Structures are given as structure tokens and as C-alpha cells.
Amino acid sequence: MSTSENPYIDPGKWPHLIVAGEPVTEEQADEILIRTCVLYYLHCNDHDWDHIVARIVFKNERAAETDFPFQQVRDRVMELGVLNLEYLETYRIASSWIGGPRGWCDWDGRIGSAYNIGKWPSVEEVGDEWSQIAAAFPYLDLTAQLVSEDGTGRLCGQWRVKDGVATAEVPGARLTRPEQQQKADKARMARFAEQLFNPTSERGVSPERLQQAIDRVEGKRRAASSPRPT
């Protein structure tokens, strides 16, 4: 279900996403973070990392190449079962955002977030993406909220994701109170300053863990597609 009970509040250009949920296993985190990444946009300003990612994710051994034809990327999307997301994608592999890699799931299995998404999503579109995510990862148990005006406005959407279904709810109290968010923002700004002088701050994972995640997803999809013995 993706229709919000509060459809008349416009999320605006950069609505704030708040997620709180039960942690998942490392193997489940690997599956989530590979299948919710954006393969069309894995580049960052760390070109050494671009080459490493291209070798692992796209199996490219030609170190000079990190850009791939659309059809080649699309084929890899299909092979890995990457979801078609526009607002709820994760950037835990690489991110050129000043805050570094981000997403509502982390590599250690933690489920939670407080950051802006965009641009100009509707409540219905965000709900549809939670439905897609819930169906793909039925082990998820989380609550998500959308707050208008960069997080300073009103709650305009809330979803309960559990047992493979995303159910729209009447928005209740914020999962993160404004004063808690202010503390989180200050801590994030402190990290920004540190990352300005860190040449690897755009990397979200080690090469070894990324390879493990790719191998796990490919192995699971091969097993699912193999005919069962009669």
C-alpha cells in the first residue's frame, strides 16, 4: 500500500527521510546495499576507487575504463536484481556527497537514517518505492517517515515495512525529535570538516567486503534461478 493518509502536504524539493528499524544480518545487508545502489552512478572524485569498483562490480579488468555503455550497465542491473529506485536508493559503495556515503541501511546491518532525499518526490512515489523494497527484502522490519521543507516542516508520510509489505500509516510523532536532529546535524558537520582532508572519504566499504557482497548476491540469484531436481 503506497497511498498516504496525509496526501495534502507537499514534501517539497528536498524532504527529510527518517528511518528506524531492527538490524539485519551481514548477509542481508550485502543484498540490500547491492540491490539498492545506483549502478548508473557509482563514480566519485576518488578515481582510484572508481577503478576498484569497476573491477569488482562490473568485472572490468581494463584499469583505464570506468564508464560503460548503457546496455552493459543495464545488463548488470538485471544480473544483480538492482531495484528501480529514484528516492530510496543507497550510496554505501561510493558517494561524492560532502557527507560521504549514506543510506538507510549500513554494512554492519544497522537500519536507520536521517537525511534529505529529492528532488520533488510525491508521497505516493516514495510509498511505491517502499513497497518495492519490502517485497524484495521481506526480512526488513522498519518504520519510515518523510518530513517536508528539508526536515523543518510537517510529517507528510509514514510507512510500516514488515513481512514483505509496506503499509501507509497516519503520521504520528517524529521518530527523531527536532533537538535530537540538531545534535545529529552538528555531529555530521564535524565529520564534514574531517572528511575534507581525507582522500578516501568517498569510499563506503572495503574492496574485500564489496567483493563478498557481489559474490553473495550473484550466488543467491543463481541458486534461485536454477531448476530444482525432480
Sketch the domain layout of the chain as residue ranges. Answer: 16-215
Largest separation between any pair of C-alpha atoms in the chain:
60
Percent of the chain with pLDDT over 70: 84
- Position 66 scores a pLDDT of 67
- Position 4 scores a pLDDT of 43
**Contact status, residue 119 vs residue 14, Cβ threshold 8 Å:** yes
Q: What is the pLDDT of residues 50-65, one digit of tens each?
A: 999 999 999 887 655 6
- pTM for this prediction: 0.87
Comparing 4-13, 131-140, 156-165, 184-193, which segment has the lowest mean pLDDT? Answer: 184-193
- Interior angle at CA 223, CA 222 and CA 226, nearest 5: 85
Rounding to the nearest 10 degrees, give the CA dihedral for residues 34, 215, 56, 197.
60
Q: What is the pLDDT of residues 24-79, one digit of tens each?
A: 999 999 999 999 999 988 888 898 999 999 999 998 876 556 677 788 899 999 99
